[in-house]
Each structure stands twice: as C-alpha cells, then as structure tokens.
Amino acid sequence: MTASLLPTLAELGFLRVARFCTRAEHKDATRRRRAGDDGLRIAYLVDDSAAAAALWAGTKPVTYMWVREGESRPVYVGKATYGMAARAKQHEGGFHGTSDQRRRQASLASDGPGGVTAGLAHARRIRKGWEDPAGRKELELWVRPADVATMFGRQGSLVSAEEEVLIELFNPPWNTAKRQKEKELE
C-alpha cells in the first residue's frame, strides 16, 4: 500500500495532542527537575486545546503515534493502557535512562543485541531530528481513544489489537520489536 492510499490520521480518529521539546523549552516551570538535569531532557509539551488536554490526562486506553511535523506517516506507533500521561511519564524516564544505561550507551556504537534501551535509542533519534542541518524537525504526538468491544459478556479495550494493526498498516521505522522477533523466528 502506498503512502497516498493510507488513511489520514484524522480519518483514523487521531488528534494532535503534543509535541516533543526539551525541559528548558517547557512552559510548565513547576515540573520537578532532577539532579543533573541541564534542561535538555526530552519532554512532551501538551497543546492548549481542551480536547488535547482531555486525551492527555485521561486514564482510559489509547493508541498513539509519533509523527514528524508536516508528514502523514508515523515513525512510531504505541499503546497506552492506563492513559497517555502515564505512558508519557514512562517515555520521559526512558529517554533519559539510568546512569548505568547512559554509560553503556556511550560505550556502544549500535542498537544491536546488548545495545542501548529503546528509550535511549528513541531519544537519540528525536535529538537527531532537532539537529538536522536543513532545520529542526519537530515530532508530534497524535492520540486516539481505543475502541471497546463486548466479548464473553464483558467489555474490553481493543488497544493491543489497534496497535498491532496500525504497525502493520504504517510500518513505522522505529517499531523494531516485531521485525526483530520475525528475524529470530527465521
């Protein structure tokens, strides 16, 4: 399927909720700063709209995509079982990693087996887009509430199925786990 035949994010029910920024750019000065935080840690800057704030703060399952500004194909697709704010907090911690993970990253040249964590690899990719010689490439967060289905007389979220189908549909380059698993099965 070519990019022109893919549905738009809006057609799929996604809303732009935030963009990535550094802590120094973040307008919420009340955010807790950690020891060693030079203001360059990656964070999310939530849009001002009520709809974006509601999707961000909600605690119900959502699927989300990271999309380069002005593009229609995501670089990453994920799910947030307990809501986007909770998942974003996990991402922000992963982008920074532990001191041991950062030391290991500095000593390794690749993301191969035994390499850096996914969070540190994503942080490196995000920063690389910001440092592009052609100009800073912003990364946006697009979110949609996961559908719910009734199965066996109970309602359940379809968030995992949605994530799987969206990865299959868009084949985002930063979703590497499935490709690595398929490679292991060969």
Domain total of the chain:
1
pTM: 0.81
pLDDT at 99: 56
CATH at residue 69: 3.40.1440.10
Range of the structural domain that residue 78 is part of = 3-185
Tokens (6 digits) for 137: 């490439």
| Residue 138, amino acid | E
Tokens (6 digits) for 24: 């120094």
- pLDDT tens digits, 92-134: 888 877 656 555 555 554 444 444 578 888 988 998 888 888 8
> In 67-176, which residue ranges form alpha helices assigned H by DSSP?
84-96, 99-107, 118-130, 159-170
With bands split at pLDDT 50, 70 and 90, how would you rate the model's confidence at 178?
Answer: low
